[in-house]
Structure 1
Amino acid sequence: MKVAIVTGAGSGIGYATSIKLASKGYTVVMGDISKDVVDKAEKVASLTKSRTLGLTVDVSDWNSCKEFYENILKGLNIDHVDILVNNAGIIRDALFVKMTPEQWDQVIKVHLYGTFNCTKQVIDGMIKQKWGRIINMSSASWQGNIGQANYSAAKAGIIGFTKTLARELGKYGITVNAIVPGFIDTPMTASVPDKVKKIIIDRIPLGKMGTPEDVANVISFLCSDEASYLTGDIIDVTGGLVL
């Protein structure tokens, strides 16, 4: 059975994706900066009866990603990984005039460097076997959002990265796609004031927030052979928010 890495797997979309892929029979490696991911992986394994491995990783750090991948190969006794879901993310919101270099760097490093660092680990193995699935997590904020110059820039960059890799890797049977989640009920959106939530929900044609499972379902499809002719696509999971 194919092996899938999910980063940022300790909560939200990453956790829901891990459950979904494990329930489909994939061997799932759950990566997260929090040590709780080890216990979360045991819980997913218990729920789905699938082989699941939880490992800590700081995706913004090259050496951490390298060690993470080496531990995967060693721990599962494999020589490559089939699927990568680049989901890890953070926010450090502030109006640009008040945004610090640290806030900019933290977000760019987790999202852009993280996507680069993790993809570089898996790509040689995918090319060698002439099959692979890479799913990158963008955001509806890629089009610009007040207080999120760092986050919007990073998520727009991921779209450019996705389209470039799709062009480069298609000849090897590797598909590269990006998901654009909208207003999803996750720990990242939990801090949004109720008044602001209502304003956003009123703009959504379906009239509600999305769930992590809504996004996980699309990711699961992109991992499958049924999505073999989709690459370089940017798929909105927004309930119509970006229409």
Structure 2
Amino acid sequence: MNPPCGRCNKPVYPTEKINCLDKYWHKGCFSCEVCKMALSMTTYKGFEKKPYCSMHYPKTSFTIVTDTPENLRLKQQSMLNSQALYKEEFEKNKGKGFSVVADTPEMQRVKKTQDQISNIKYHEEFEKSRIRSDAPPPENRQYEDEVQPSNPGQFSQPVRQMRPAPVAPSSGGKRYQALYSYAAAEADEVSLVEGDLILDVETIDEGWMFGCNQRTGQRGLLPANYVRPV
């Protein structure tokens, strides 16, 4: 009995029989599965017991590896090595660049607080610039050497090109409260802590005042944009 053809399933006679890929083929049926080009025993490429030409031979992109105990051990070892390398690289580059921080509720609260502080500093700097630009010409002031801050970017101490002469406070002066902390830069200035109550306040000019810190009992000059009336 003649076997069936692997292509057309018709009987294959011995004169035209090709035995390949565990099947029998007619010579005319032994062709590429894609382009139907006739193949021979020297030109075919077999894939899943089907003939293909060199052009249309399936190219596998990956190889499936059996999960044997040895392969699983190697896989686990590779993962451990990758984690060790990642940790080493992370420690090496710590602090050198920007890192993505998880957007947790705590981080959102910190970010909001930082934004509020930045806005306050921006408005303070804007008000200082406006006061310096709108200040009237000095009259009857005691001039001293120009005082520059140690750090041009530092905001805690205002830049002053002249110092007003201290004026003794009068009884029944205005009361002010410190909005921000201020470190005295000169001996005749008053240091402030946020929330301090300032008594007997007298306005020297648009930039400076004279008063007494109720908390410390210290009298002297203080920046006007660091306090507000009570």
Q: Same fold (TM over 0.5)?
A: no
Structure index of larger Rg: 2
Structure number with greater CO (CA < 8 Å, separation at least 6) is 1
TM-score by length of 1: 0.18
Higher helix share: 1
TM-score by length of 2: 0.19
